Amino acid sequence: MAKKIILLGPPGVGKGTVADKLTKKLNLPHIATGDMLRDNTEKKTPLGIKAKSFMDKGLLVPDEVVIEMVRQRLKQDDCKDGFVLDGFPRTINQAEKIDDLNFDEVINLQATDDIIIKRLNNRRVCSKCGSIFHLDYIKPKQEGICDKCNGKLIQREDDKDEAIKERLKVYRSLTEPLISYFKNKGILVEVDGSKTPKEVFESVVRVVS
Ligand code: AMP
């Protein structure tokens, strides 16, 4: 049976880390709108050029841009047996535009602002393969170097203080209302995202199996 899962939650709560492991376990594509947008900004595509100024400030990229990008991606063959959406939807309007897809579960990862700010400040990502590290609990074996591909680890522009504050504000006003939206549909499951990556993943696996 096709499995369609949404990972919901504030920036930095661990959606990317969970989605990465979950998609490997379930053999499904990991559809992360942030990664898709960053890929476009790096390649300086028209979409990427449009998105960059919003992303660097911690603001949402306009709905019409992101919705079209996701709809195109979901039409690809590898999505026919399901997928895990990470970072989409982020507004009620985006959610309404994919209402027809009949999701199985929306997993809402939660953690306090203090935890999130610390995690985002200490997050490092590989500039080559996008792998996520954390200076406290997902430490790279060699400082500044990706364990998987030897790429250089960097701090994302939007993981710096000012942008983090903006992203949390945007999350509270535009994305948090999705919790009630999916609760009303009866498909929302809460998972405590403040635990260790291993514990969070185990909880998520229990939810989907
Ligand atoms: P993420 O990697 O998921 O934290 O996303 C990084 C940035 O990409 C966000 O702060 C937004 O600027 C943009 N972005 C990612 N997903 C969306 C979305 N669904 N809607 C609008 N903007 C998005």
Edge to edge, the sheet with strand 153-154 lists: 132-134, 123-126, 153-154
SS (H, E, C) 77-105: HHHCCEEEEECCCCCHHHHHHCHHHCCCE
Answer yes or no: is pLDDT of 141 > 90.
yes
The domains of the chain are located at 3-112+174-208
Per-residue pLDDT, averaged over 154-173, amounts to 92
**Is the pLDDT assigned to residue 172 strictly greater than 90?**
yes
pLDDT tier, 38 (very low <50, low <70, confident <90, very high otherwise): very high
Q: What percent of the chain has pLDDT over 70?
A: 99
156 included as an active-site residue:
yes
Q: Is residue 87 within 6 Å of ligand 1 at its C-beta? A: yes
Tell me: pLDDT of 188 over 70: yes
Q: Tell me, in angstroms, the distance from the centre of ligand 1 to residue 144's CA.
A: 25
Residue type, 101: L
pLDDT given at position 110: 96
Give me the catalytic one of 3, 156, 160, 183.
156
Q: Residue 73 pLDDT more than 60?
A: yes
Counting residues of the chain whose pLDDT is more than 90, the rounded percentage is 89
Contacts of 1 (CB under 8 A, 6+ apart): none
The per-residue pLDDT for 74 is 96
Residue 161: the pLDDT is 87
Check residue 191 and give its pLDDT.
98
Q: The domain 3-112+174-208: what is its CATH number? A: 3.40.50.300
Look up 198 and say whether it is catalytic. no
Query: Measured in angstroms, how far is the CA atom of residue 41 from the centroid of ligand 1?
Result: 12
pLDDT band at 138 (very low <50, low <70, confident <90, very high): confident
* Position 2 confidence tier, pLDDT thresholds 50, 70, 90: low
Report the nearest atom of ligand 1 relative to the CA of 15: 3
Q: What is the number of the ligand 1 atom nearest to the C-alpha of 62?
A: 21
The CA distances from residue 114 to 38, 118, 156, 189, in Å, are 26, 6, 19, 23
What is the average per-residue pLDDT within 157-182?
A: 94
Distance of CA 178 to the CA centre of its chain: 15
Is pLDDT larger for residue 103 or for residue 162?
103
